[in-house]
């Protein structure tokens, strides 16, 4: 007889895979079955291969101040020379910039001579005095993301670099977005931090404390992030774990504050001792059958909002836009600040890893658009996306005409970003319900409805594993990526 406890994991993205890998590696007391609704692993962190050219959806830097996460990554793929072997992490230079006023600005915005020249004297003076005003006359109660940004950067800089782009991403005014988003995504950054960083660089003063958004190097799998998760998946299989693809969840049966069975999309009934969920909480709550699930919990879940995401892969002979010295652009990401364009951000995959491109003499880019699944934009035909992409790239000087596009692909990703508006302000109602279901653990970005970076999603999986093995209170999972200093310093 098999006396092992049975664990069902919903989702084979970074969080679900990391949980499964960690618990199988540390204990032989559990049977792990992963149910994945798609036919691949990696979730939004997968790598898509199109005619030999690889796409990293959204872009994933392998950098973390969390020791355990770094050890996990480097235990699966060694840092090494990509010319000699394939299973390696390569060290990449980080360069992300903002394209605004037909000029390039540092991202995050830095205090530099180039920034001031690009902004012009009048705008720079306005930004300076606006920042001083925010220092001496802070908004006492931050009720929104707009308040959060103004307190840290001043209203003028907020209006110049944050407002339009953020509203392009989310499709709603910053006044309607919770300040929690800023706390998780920008951490301790502010104008004051940018000033300090400027003087440290000026006088070559090194610091052990690095804000995540200010790192200048990161690790990256030779063939994109999906390579890491395919390796993790294979290791899970070798350790006895199982994965069922093209399988979603129909119902989760709960009684006496415990999940005891799930019914999958094929009608198969599966008993379980633990359920680990990375599926969107909106969908999770909708599938739960439990007499203790209140109407309020269902209503809050039903009104959670997500932002969907489209990547248009574009192959070119070259990008016409150049650096000031006439050289090729070295950016990983370029944030498109121009308000009149739908394009939010673009990636140059050659600069993430030259092995992402089948012909290194060509340039492979990903144009990123933010939308909602039910809007007209999501339902555009592929040829329409090609024409839109070519029009917008031409307007910012990246191509001359649509004939420059050698190949393209359109990739759509539902529920890419959990939103901090809608019923988010009542999210504690859901959290309290989940905490009361003793053997239900929610992890990952959508599993926790938290806009985590990849490393925090992985950490949530590893911590859930630790909670089960060592009988710890699972409530600590909600603390991940909530405080500015939480796991932010290297030890």
Buried b (16+ CB within 10 A) or exposed e, 120-154: eeeebebbeebbeebeeeeeeebebbbbbbbbbbb
On whether residue 12 sits in a domain, the answer given is yes
Predicted model pTM: 0.92
pLDDT exceeds cutoff 80 at 200: no
- Are 405 and 430 part of one and the same domain? no
On whether residue 487 sits in a domain, the answer given is no
Number of H helices and number of E strands within the chain?
Answer: 15, 21
pLDDT exceeds cutoff 70 at 213: no
Taking CA atoms, 157 is separated from 55, 146, 420, in Å, by 33, 12, 22
Q: Can you read off the two tokens belonging to residue 82?
A: 């990509």
Q: Which of 177, 211, 245 lies at the terminal end of a domain, its last residue?
A: 211
On whether residue 92 sits in a domain, the answer given is no
- Are 394 and 434 part of one and the same domain? no
On whether residue 48 sits in a domain, the answer given is no
pLDDT exceeds cutoff 60 at 486: no
Q: In the chain, what percentage of residues exceed pLDDT 90?
A: 81
Please state the domain count of the chain.
3
- Are 274 and 350 part of one and the same domain? no
For CA atoms 211, 216, 219, 223, give the dihedral sign.
positive
| pLDDT at residue number 208 | 55
| pLDDT at residue number 107 | 85
| pLDDT at residue number 490 | 34
Residue 26: which CATH number? 3.50.50.60
- Structure confidence at residue 487 as a pLDDT band (50, 70, 90): very low
Bridge partners of 334, per DSSP, are 97, 346
Contact 97, 103 (CB under 8 A): no
| pLDDT at residue number 110 | 74
Residue 402: which CATH number? 3.90.660.20
The whole-chain average pLDDT of the chain stands at 91
Compute the average pLDDT of residues 4-31: 98
- Are 310 and 397 part of one and the same domain? yes
- Are 311 and 414 part of one and the same domain? yes
- Structure confidence at residue 489 as a pLDDT band (50, 70, 90): very low
| pLDDT at residue number 189 | 60
Q: How many beta carbons lie within 10 A of that of residue 260, not counting itself?
A: 14
pLDDT exceeds cutoff 50 at 430: yes
Beta-sheet strands, E only, within 291-406:
304-316, 333-336, 345-348, 363-371
Nearest to 43 by CA among 56, 24, 62: 56
Q: Which of 419, 453, 469 lies at the terminal end of a domain, its last residue?
A: 419
- Structure confidence at residue 332 as a pLDDT band (50, 70, 90): very high
- Are 313 and 415 part of one and the same domain? yes
- Are 245 and 293 part of one and the same domain? yes
- Are 198 and 143 part of one and the same domain? yes
| pLDDT at residue number 8 | 98
On whether residue 101 sits in a domain, the answer given is no
On whether residue 464 sits in a domain, the answer given is yes
- Are 168 and 183 part of one and the same domain? yes
Contact 445, 451 (CB under 8 A): yes
On whether residue 445 sits in a domain, the answer given is yes
Q: Which of 419, 443, 464 lies at the terminal end of a domain, its last residue?
A: 419
Compute the average pLDDT of residues 345-374: 96
- Are 341 and 380 part of one and the same domain? yes
Q: In the chain, what percentage of residues exceed pLDDT 70?
A: 91
Compute the average pLDDT of residues 240-267: 97
| pLDDT at residue number 112 | 77
Q: How many beta carbons lie within 10 A of that of residue 204, not counting itself?
A: 6
pLDDT exceeds cutoff 80 at 236: yes
pLDDT in tens, 431-474: 999 999 999 999 999 999 999 899 999 999 999 999 999 999 99
pLDDT in tens, 370-390: 999 989 899 999 999 999 999
- Are 230 and 311 part of one and the same domain? no
Instruction: Tell me which residue range forms the domain holding 387.
Output: 305-419
pLDDT exceeds cutoff 50 at 118: yes
pLDDT exceeds cutoff 50 at 99: yes
- Are 232 and 376 part of one and the same domain? no
On whether residue 17 sits in a domain, the answer given is yes
pLDDT in tens, 464-474: 999 999 999 99
Bridge partners of 79, per DSSP, are 89
How far is the C-alpha of 316 from the C-alpha of 465, rounded, in Å?
Answer: 45
pLDDT exceeds cutoff 70 at 209: no
| pLDDT at residue number 484 | 40
First to last CA, the chain: 44
| pLDDT at residue number 471 | 97
Contacts of 273 (CB under 8 A, 6+ apart): 5, 6, 7, 439
pLDDT exceeds cutoff 80 at 183: no
């Amino acid at each position: 007889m098999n006396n092992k406890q049975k664990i069902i994991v919903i989702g084979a993205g970074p969080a679900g895979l990391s949980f499964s890998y960690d618990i199988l590696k540390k204990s032989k007391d559990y049977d792990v079955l992963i149910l994945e609704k798609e036919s691949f692993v990696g979730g939004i962190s997968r790598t898509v291969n199109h005619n030999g050219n690889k796409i990293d959806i959204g872009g994933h830097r392998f950098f973390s101040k969390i020791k355990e996460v770094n050890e996990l990554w480097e235990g699966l793929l060694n840092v090494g020379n990509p010319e000699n072997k394939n299973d390696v992490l390569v060290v990449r230079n980080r360069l992300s910039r903002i394209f605004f006023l037909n000029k390039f600005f540092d991202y995050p915005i830095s205090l530099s001579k180039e920034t001031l020249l690009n902004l012009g004297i009048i705008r720079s003076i306005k930004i300076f005095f606006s920042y001083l005003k925010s220092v001496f006359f802070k908004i006492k109660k931050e009720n929104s993301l707009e308040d959060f940004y103004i307190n840290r950067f001043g209203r003028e800089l907020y209006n110049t670099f944050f407002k339009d782009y953020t509203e392009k991403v989310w499709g709603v005014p910053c006044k309607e977005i919770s300040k929690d988003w800023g706390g998780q995504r920008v951490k301790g950054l502010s104008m004051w931090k940018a000033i300090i960083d400027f003087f440290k660089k000026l006088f070559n003063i090194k610091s052990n404390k690095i804000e995540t958004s200010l790192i200048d190097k990161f690790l990256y799998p030779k063939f994109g992030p999906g390579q890491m998760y395919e390796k993790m998946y294979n290791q899970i299989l070798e350790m006895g774990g199982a994965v069922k693809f093209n399988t979603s969840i129909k119902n989760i049966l709960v009684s006496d504050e415990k999940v005891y069975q799930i019914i999958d999309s094929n009608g198969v009934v599966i008993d379980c001792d633990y359920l680990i969920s990375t599926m969107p909480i909106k969908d999770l709550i909708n599938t739960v059958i439990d007499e203790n699930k209140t109407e309020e919990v269902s209503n809050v879940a039903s009104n959670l909002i997500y932002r969907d995401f489209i990547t248009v892969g574009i192959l070119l002979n070259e990008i016409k836009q150049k650096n000031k010295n006439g050289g090729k652009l070295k950016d990983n990401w370029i944030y498109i600040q121009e308000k009149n364009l739908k394009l939010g951000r673009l990636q140059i995959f050659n600069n993430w890893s030259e092995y992402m491109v089948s012909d290194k003499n060509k340039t492979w880019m990903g144009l990123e658009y933010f939308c909602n699944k039910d809007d007209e934009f999501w339902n555009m035909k592929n040829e329409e996306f090609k024409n839109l992409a070519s029009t917008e790239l031409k307007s910012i000087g990246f191509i001359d005409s649509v004939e420059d596009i050698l190949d393209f692909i359109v990739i759509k990703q539902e529920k890419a970003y959990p939103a901090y508006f809608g019923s988010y302000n009542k999210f504690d109602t859901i959290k309290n319900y989940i905490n009361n279901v003793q053997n239900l653990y929610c992890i990952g970005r959508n599993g926790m409805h938290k806009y985590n970076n990849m490393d925090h999603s992985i950490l949530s999986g590893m911590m859930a594993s630790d909670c089960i093995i060592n009988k710890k209170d699972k409530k600590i999972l909600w603390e991940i990526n909530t405080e500015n200093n939480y796991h932010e310093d290297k030890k």
